[in-house]
Amino acid sequence: MVVLTDPALDLISLIRSPKPAACFSGVPIVDLSKPDAAARLVEACKEFGFFKVTNHGIPVELMRRLEAEAVKFFSLPPVEKEKSGPAKPLGYGNKRIGANGDMGWVEYLLFAVTSKPLSYTPMDFLREPSACSFRSALKEYLSAVRKLASQVLELMAQGLEIEPRDVISKLVTSEASDGIFRLNHYPPCPVLRGSNYSLTGFGEHTDPQVISVLRSNNSTGLQISLKDGSWVSVPPDEESFFINVGDSLQVLTNGRFRSVRHRVVANGMESRVSMIYFFGPPFAEKIAPLPQLMGEREQSLYKEFTWDEYKKAAYKSRLADNRLGLFEK
């Protein structure tokens, strides 16, 4: 039996920890320098809705710079961090995820990101002269990952054999596109050491957007759900990026691609820092299967909706809810 001495922990679910050897060896790896990248990427999106990209061209030093700046912020006294919160939904948040009762062993910074010109939500701490290096690393990182997302989405179009090649990427890189950037910190939890349990860091969910691009330090914790509903742990790799297919891309491909259900568990031993850039379309954009993909008599599996309508529905739901279920025919 695990006795939790912190009252805040009583609100966060416990998950039985996987065995150390339970890391999933089947995560698809897409080497962006190889000629078969487009085909491998499409195969991964259909089977898992999730894959790792290597040879992406983004310097590891840039990733580590932003991670170091995030660690500095999360190491501040609570009273200093809370000046940038509470998250509604943007800003600094701690344990409370959204407004509908979801809780996790996580603290985070959440930014809105615009593409043209590249800018992000201002926060009090970023206005300080001492935050110059944070601002610099953040802007450089966002710009680099935006280019990576465009490359990945154009490879998807190539692999699906549809034209134009930017038919998907232009949805998330236009002036009106709705981007979100999240810095997550999952602190150690000493009370769990020696037990067979982990805390829910970020509960199971799918991402509403088109894709999300994730990078984390070398700490474990990310898990994905396979087609049979089983959960597997993703081996960490701080030099690579992981791509999640989101709900919007599942609809755009009329179910050919699978929006991956995933979660993060906090094992109490390590500090995990992750950086996720969520790429959404403009609010007025209609989300419907791409005509270039549809067969002659193929019917849409979904009712047509705008990104604004879907995002509002997502914000009213719990993390684990099947949001797309509301829009299925």
Residue 9 has pLDDT above 50, yes or no: yes
- pLDDT, average across residues 63-75: 97
Cis peptide before 190, with omega less than 30 degrees from 0? no
pLDDT at residue number 4? 47
Q: Decide if 1 is inside a domain.
A: no
**Across-strand partners of 113?**
120, 179
- Residue type at 325? G
List pLDDT tens digits, range 201-258: 999 999 999 999 999 999 999 999 999 999 999 999 999 999 999 999 999 999 999 9
Q: What is the mean pLDDT of the chain?
A: 92
Q: Decide if 102 is inside a domain.
A: yes
Q: Decide if 291 is inside a domain.
A: yes
Residue found by looking up tokens 């920890």 in the block: 17
Alpha-carbon span 215 to 141, nearest angstrom: 11
Of 3-12, 172-181, 305-314, the one with minimum mean pLDDT is: 3-12
Of 34-43, 79-88, 141-150, 252-261, the one with minimum mean pLDDT is: 79-88
Q: Decide if 324 is inside a domain.
A: no
Residue 192 has pLDDT above 80, yes or no: no
Q: Decide if 272 is inside a domain.
A: yes
**Across-strand partners of 265?**
200
Domain of 91?
12-316
Q: Backbone dihedral region of 327: left (phi > 0), alpha (psi from -120 to 50 degrees) or beta?
A: alpha
Q: Decide if 227 is inside a domain.
A: yes
Q: Decide if 229 is inside a domain.
A: yes
Q: What is the CATH number of the domain that holds 283?
A: 2.60.120.330
pLDDT at residue number 8? 59
- pLDDT, average across residues 42-48: 98
Q: Backbone dihedral region of 44: left (phi > 0), alpha (psi from -120 to 50 degrees) or beta?
A: alpha
pTM assigned to the model? 0.94
Residue pair 253/213 in contact (Cβ under 8 Å)? The answer is no
Q: Decide if 245 is inside a domain.
A: yes
Alpha-carbon span 187 to 218, nearest angstrom: 14
**Domains in the chain: how many in total?**
1
Of 71-85, 117-131, 136-150, the one with minimum mean pLDDT is: 117-131
| Radius of gyration over every alpha carbon of the chain, rounded to an integer in angstroms | 19
Cα 269 → chain centroid = 23
